[in-house]
Structure 1
Amino acid sequence: MAHIDLGVDERKSPGINGLMQFRPETAKPLGALADVLLRGPNSLTPGERELIAAYVSGLNDCEFCRDSHSAFAAAQLEQGLPLVEQVRADRNTAPISAKLRALLAIAAAVREGGRTVTGELVEAAKAEGATDVEVHDTVLIAAAFCMFNRYVDGLGTLPADPEDYVHAAHHIIANGYQGLG
């Protein structure tokens, strides 16, 4: 049960969905940010960007965001949920590109604190082929998901049924993050 009365049935609107219904005026810019970061034009695939979101959310132990974005990544990555789970368990041994591994290291550093992102981490990502835009967007995805994770958990919202995440993944892929809730 959320810490505040959201005025919705939280079982039908778990996690951030109920929060977005509670404050639609904040939902619009948050949805727009998620769309730009996770679905907008980029050399990183939507699946890779969702994987970054799931990874950071896992590090933050945000059950709703971890599980929802894991499902969203799995639906868009050829290797599906097994890959997502491998990355979340240990990015260093997961079967991903060296570039993505280096970007996940940057995301993990952002999660600890912005100043933990060092020039060495950025140079290591660039040495593996990461572009300035990919580094920028990785930092912003990680920072945004620290905010989203704290928003969801700070108001004590409920996680969803795991099957709901699979259904939501199809909706997100087809429609994006605008109008969630």
Structure 2
Amino acid sequence: MAHIDLGLDEYEHPGITGLLIYRPETAKPLNELADALLRGPSSLSPGERELIAAYVSGLNECKFCAASHSAFAAAQLPGGMHLVDQVRHDPQSAPVTDKMRALLAIAAAVQQDGRKVTTQLVDAARTEGATDVEIHDTVLIAAAFCMYNRYVDGLGTLAPNEPQLYEEAAERIMANGYRR
């Protein structure tokens, strides 16, 4: 049960979903930011961007966001959940491109402390073909998901254990995006 009364059935609206319904005036910009970062125009695919969100959420141990964005990434990447699990467990040995591996290293640095993003990490990403926009977006996705994770966990929202709930949400996100 959430730390505050959301006035709804948390089993029907778990995690951030219930929080967004509770405060629609803050939901709008939060959804717009997620949509721009994860679904908007980019040279990184939506699946790759969801993978960054899932990875950071896993590092933050945010069960709801890690599970949901893992499902969203898996639904959009050829390697599916097996790939996502590999990345979340050990991005250095996961079968992703060297560019994605370098971007995940930047995301991990942001998750720890934005000041841990070093010139060496940025140069390594550039060496692997990352553009400045991709580096920018990786930092912003990682920073935003630290905020989203703390929002969800800070209010103690429900994180269901049933994978099919996250898979169903992935279908909705792929069809409609994050804007409600």
Question: TM-score interval w.r.t. the shorter chain?
Answer: over 0.9
Are 1:52 and 2:39 an aligned pair? Answer: no
Give the whole-Å Cα distance in 2 for the aligned partners of 1:102 and 1:84.
16
2:177 matched residue in structure 1: 176
Give me the whole-angstrom Cα distance separating, in 2, the residues matched to 1:88 and 1:115: 22
Q: Residues 64-102 of structure 1: CA distance to partner in whole angstroms, max 9, x if unpaired? A: 000000000000001100000000000000000000000
Q: Find the residue that maps to 1:87 and give its secondary structure.
A: helix
Q: Partner residue of 1:62?
A: 62
Aligned length: 179
| Counterpart AA for 2:175 | A
- Give the aligned residue type for 1:98: D
Q: Which amino acid aligns with 1:139?
A: V
Q: Which runs of 4+ in 1 moved over 2 A?
A: none
Counterpart position of 2:150: 150
Distance 2:171 2:11 in 1: 19
Letter in 2 for 1:133: V
Structure 2 matches for 1:45-124, cutoff 5 A? 45-124=45-124
Partners of 1:6 and 1:177 lie apart in 2 by 20
Structure 2 residue aligned with 1:163: 164
The alignment partner of 1:36 has SS state of helix
Letter in 1 for 2:79: Q
**Take 2:79 and 2:87, find their aligned partners in 1: how far apart are those partners?**
11
CA-based RMSD of the aligned residues comes to: 0.4
| Structure 1 match to 2:19 | 19
Task: Give the superposition deviation at 1:163.
Answer: 1.0
The SS at the match of 2:159 is coil
In 1, the alpha carbon distance for the partners of 2:2 and 2:179 equals: 23
* TM-score normalized by the length of structure 1: 0.98
Residue 164 of structure 2 aligns to which amino acid in structure 1?
Answer: E
Any residues of structure 2 matched to 1:128-139 within 5 Å, and which?
A: 128-139=128-139
Shift in Å at residue 162 of structure 1?
Answer: 1.8
Report the residue type matching 1:12 in the other structure.
E
Whole-angstrom distance in 2 between the partners of 1:39 and 1:178: 10
Q: Equivalent pairs: percent with the same residue? A: 70
Equivalent position amino acid for 1:21 in 2: I
Query: 5+ residue gaps in structure 2?
Result: none
| Per-residue deviation, residues 131-158 of structure 1 (Å, max 9, x unmatched) | 0000000000000000000000000000
Taking the aligned partners of 2:97 and 2:114, their CA distance within structure 1 comes to: 24
> Aligned to 1:130, what secondary structure does the other structure show?
coil
Q: How far apart are the structure 2 equivalents of 1:45 and 1:165?
A: 20
